[in-house]
Amino acid sequence: MSARLIDGKAIAADIRADLREQVQRLPVQPGLATVLVGTRPDSVTYVNMKHRACAEVGVRSVRVELPESVSEAELVGRVRELNTDPQVHGILVQLPLPPHIDEERVLAQVSLEKDVDGFHPVNIGRLAMKNRDPLFVPCTPLGCIELLRHSGTAIAGRQAVVLGRSNIVGLPVALLLLRENATVTVCHSRTRDIAAVVRQADILVAAIGKPEYVQADWLRPGVTVIDVGINQKPDASSARGYRLVGDVDFDACRRVAGQITPVPGGTGPMTIAMLLRNTVRAAQRQVQNG
């Protein structure tokens, strides 16, 4: 048995094509502003990918690049300027921020109507409550749900296990799975016998940040695996000296799982697709509200 691959690249490409058509029908051009502090190579790469994706679907992109030494007050001021710019419909503050800056304070400054990353406290609070709808949902968790939907995986009534409880992925994806009527277990560093808990899963979302952590004998045969991890593993045969792997031992686990996302090419493309979708929806909301 070999698991069917859930091709995030292909699914994201279809979503971008649909968004391109939506953008062409809008009377305004959606605008996304990215705020990058410092020159972390991974953050720079992610921001560049987002701007390329904007160009592909017709979204106007604005770069705000600040030195790592920027003060919290100055950063907050730049975010507030973007809040008042009518041509900017979405604002993304690239994380992580330097240690001297309070991430929560900065994220709270982003206008609720422009919080296309979905991290504003009000949006997260609404996500956590029954019968409340956030304006925007965090992009990677939303991408995970879209991958499940496009793969035909039933969610309601199923046992879902989430490995990791970060604010960026683990907790919001658990809340989304609850909204889809799954029964959800969240595992973390204090969970006893994680392997036994994972074996109960019909759906596994791995977002724990440990390379190839999940082993094949942890899986229930036929489980759907969404691997959010992206880790560097030394590889002398690669020109870069490493290769990218997920939080799941892919080669072994694909022989047990029913469906599985590859790394790379799974959740990564979906994260950017969901960011673009949120930005387009922000522009549509502005048009509707006049």
Q: Determine contact, residues 272/253, Cβ cutoff 8 Å.
A: no
**29 tagged catalytic:** no
Residue 223 CB neighbour total at 10 angstroms: 25
Maximum Cα–Cα distance across the chain: 57
**288 tagged catalytic:** no
The burial of 174, by beta-carbon neighbours within 10 Å (0-12 exposed, 13-18 middle, 19 or more buried), is given as buried
Encoded tokens for 116:
């296309």
Encoded tokens for 214:
């999940």
Count Cα neighbours of 210 within 13 Å in the Cβ-side half-sphere: 9
Q: Determine contact, residues 252/216, Cβ cutoff 8 Å.
A: yes
Catalytic residue among 7, 24, 85, 94: 94
**50 tagged catalytic:** yes
* 192/4 Cα distance (integer angstroms): 30
DSSP string, 80-130: HHHHT-TT--EEEEPSPPPTTS-HHHHHHHS-GGG-TTS-SHHHHHHHTST
Catalytic residue among 7, 18, 29, 50: 50
Catalytic residue among 117, 202, 227, 247: 117
Look-up of token digits 């406290």 = 121
* 137/158 Cα distance (integer angstroms): 22
* 153/123 Cα distance (integer angstroms): 26
Consecutive H or E run containing 66: strand 60-66
Catalytic residue IDs: 50, 94, 117
